[in-house]
Amino acid sequence: MEDMIFYDRLQFAFTITFHYIFPQLTMGLSLLIVYYKWRFLKTNIVKYNNAAKFLMKIFAINFTMGVVTGIPMEFQFGTNWAKFSELTGSIIGQTLAMEGLFSFFLESTFLVLFIFGEKLMGQKLHFLTGFLVFLGSWASGYLILATNAWMQHPVGYEILENGKFVLENFSALFSNPWLLPAFLHNQIASLVTSSFVVASIGAFYILRNKNIEYGKLFLKTGVIFGLVSSLLLAFPTGDWNAKNVAKYQPASFAAMEGIFKTEEKGAEIVLIGQPDMVQKKLDNKIAVPNILSFLTYQEWDKQIPGMDQFKKEELPDNIPALYYSYHIMVGLGTIFMAIMGLAVFFLWRRRLFSMKPLLWVIMFLVPFPYIANLTGWYVAELGRQPYLVYGLLRTSEGVSPTVSSGNTLFTLLGFVALYMLLGLLFLVLVGKTIHHGPTPQKH
């Protein structure tokens, strides 16, 4: 049974990790596309229109890959997690169906119109199609996160005698106190990724002395949006999310902060340390006293429950992974603010475009927002364990009893091979698009 649960979780973790590489770019990129198209309507400067259409090509590749890699995840609800689907389907099925029927079709339909309909529609309608692509992508994220928010903090439900969950209050799904902070944090994180990608493309063009005009445009846009979104990621959205975890999942909060023992007079914030699960302590710890209590409750001496206050079966089942994921996410976010702050300073001083060492850093920094986004998801999902629906349905109760661990491992290996090919195809397509550049070909 333990092997079956392990492989079911491993397969879903792999497929969702690979899938989320793509929408985390498209959601933020859609806003930058709308921004460039708006600048074109306002100034009638053609480079803004070309920049919007160029980024939409990258968006389309990402969107297609996101659709292809998202389909297997839906099937896994019926194969690996059939019991979970049976018990909660009447609730989570509603938001997932809304995402597929409304947001996906809105996004895909107007994506096609944006790419092929500019001459037919005129510029104002063309802008509208871009805005509707943005609206569809963000609505999709909202509905997916409404599903996840209910799993993190279930509201508006009733449990029948047969164990099935039914929805008593539909509006409760969208007034869930977990939803808005998670949604805003997720979307801002997506904007961080997109900003870094755009800035990286700009740095690449400048360093290669190719498409210099667009390189400067992309770099300027990327670092400004990157700084603003990195700051918003930390406060207020990150702070709001952390307070939610402390309020609704206190055992998870203690684990991700590395609080093994409750301190009577305020909790310290750990900068560096390695969890020792045998001795129940952090090794080589560097911490600042009382800061965590102040950040969480605005009281220096406020007590925060440690892991010693909870039963073992209520604690996350992989505390080191949760702890490291959280600290990697926070550490990278701090680095992002510092680098983008430095870049904006040199932009203000009109020296950024000639600062080759910094341009190299910006160009090679592009994988790290993806890592930060993924570790952020790991924090949310590892923190919810050992539950599928927090406090109500344990992970061990949601697996499919008829699917063996051998079958799951076999299909996982198949996914790994297939996704490696898809990943290579994606890199080739995006690489060719960037190499071609935003300048229209002359016929």
pLDDT tens-digit readout, 187-214: 999 999 999 999 999 999 999 999 999 9
Distance spanning both ends of the chain, measured CA to CA: 64
Q: Tell me whether the omega of the peptide bond preceding residue 236 falls within 30 degrees of 0, making it cis.
A: yes
- Model pLDDT, residue 105: 83
Cα–Cα distance, 149 to 179 (Å, whole number): 5
Phi, psi dihedral angles at 109 (to 5 degrees): -65, -50
- Model pLDDT, residue 81: 93
CA distances from 151 to 71, 146, 188, 340 (A): 21, 9, 22, 35
| Backbone φ/ψ region at 87: left (φ over 0), alpha (ψ -120 to 50), beta | alpha
Burial class (CB in 10 A: 0-12, 13-18, 19+), 398: buried
377 assigned to some structural domain: yes
In a 13 Å sphere around the CA of 132, the CA atoms on its Cβ side amount to 19
Cα–Cα distance, 283 to 271 (Å, whole number): 12
Give the DSSP letter of residue 262.
Answer: -
For residue 166, the cross-strand partners are 158
Cα angle 160-161-166, degrees, rounded to a multiple of 5: 10
**Is residue 74 over pLDDT 90?**
no
Asked whether 316 and 383 are in contact (CB, 8 A), the reply is yes
Nearest Cα neighbor of 297 from 246, 348, 336, 252 is 246
**Is residue 228 over pLDDT 80?**
yes
- Model pLDDT, residue 433: 95
**Is residue 345 over pLDDT 50?**
yes
What is the average per-residue pLDDT within 121-141?
A: 94
Q: Where are the alpha helices (DSSP H) in 80-122?
A: 82-98, 105-116, 118-121
Give the DSSP letter of residue 317.
Answer: S
**What domain range is 236 assigned to?**
188-403
Q: Tell me whether the omega of the peptide bond preceding residue 440 falls within 30 degrees of 0, making it cis.
A: no
> What are the respective helix, strand and coil percentages of the chain, to the nearest 5?
75, 5, 20
48 assigned to some structural domain: no
In a 13 Å sphere around the CA of 437, the CA atoms on its Cβ side amount to 17
State the pairing for strand pair 387-389/393-394. antiparallel
299 assigned to some structural domain: yes
- Model pLDDT, residue 1: 58
Q: Quick one: which H or E segment has residue 412?
A: helix 405-436
What is the average per-residue pLDDT within 122-134?
A: 95
24 assigned to some structural domain: no
Q: Quick one: which H or E segment has residue 260?
A: none
Q: Tell me whether the omega of the peptide bond preceding residue 386 falls within 30 degrees of 0, making it cis.
A: yes
84 assigned to some structural domain: no
- Model pLDDT, residue 198: 98
**Is residue 127 over pLDDT 90?**
yes
**Is residue 102 over pLDDT 80?**
no
Most confident of 80-94, 222-236, 399-413: 222-236
Provide the number of structural domains found in the chain.
1
Asked whether 413 and 18 are in contact (CB, 8 A), the reply is no
Cα–Cα distance, 335 to 133 (Å, whole number): 31
Give the DSSP letter of residue 117.
Answer: -
What is the average per-residue pLDDT within 55-69?
A: 94
**Is residue 443 over pLDDT 50?**
no
More confident residue, 106 or 242: 242
Nearest Cα neighbor of 389 from 159, 191, 170 is 159
- Model pLDDT, residue 158: 95
Cα 442 from chain centroid (whole Å) = 39
- Model pLDDT, residue 441: 57
Give the DSSP letter of residue 40.
Answer: H
Q: What is the pLDDT of residues 260-296, one digit of tens each?
A: 999 888 899 999 999 999 999 999 999 999 999 999 9
429 assigned to some structural domain: no
Nearest Cα neighbor of 360 from 218, 206, 229 is 206
Cα–Cα distance, 7 to 16 (Å, whole number): 14
* 64 contact partners, CB below 8 Å, separation of at least 6: none
What is the average per-residue pLDDT within 314-332?
A: 96
Instruction: Read off the pLDDT band of 233 (50, 70, 90).
Output: very high
Asked whether 384 and 252 are in contact (CB, 8 A), the reply is yes
Instruction: Read off the pLDDT band of 442 (50, 70, 90).
Output: low
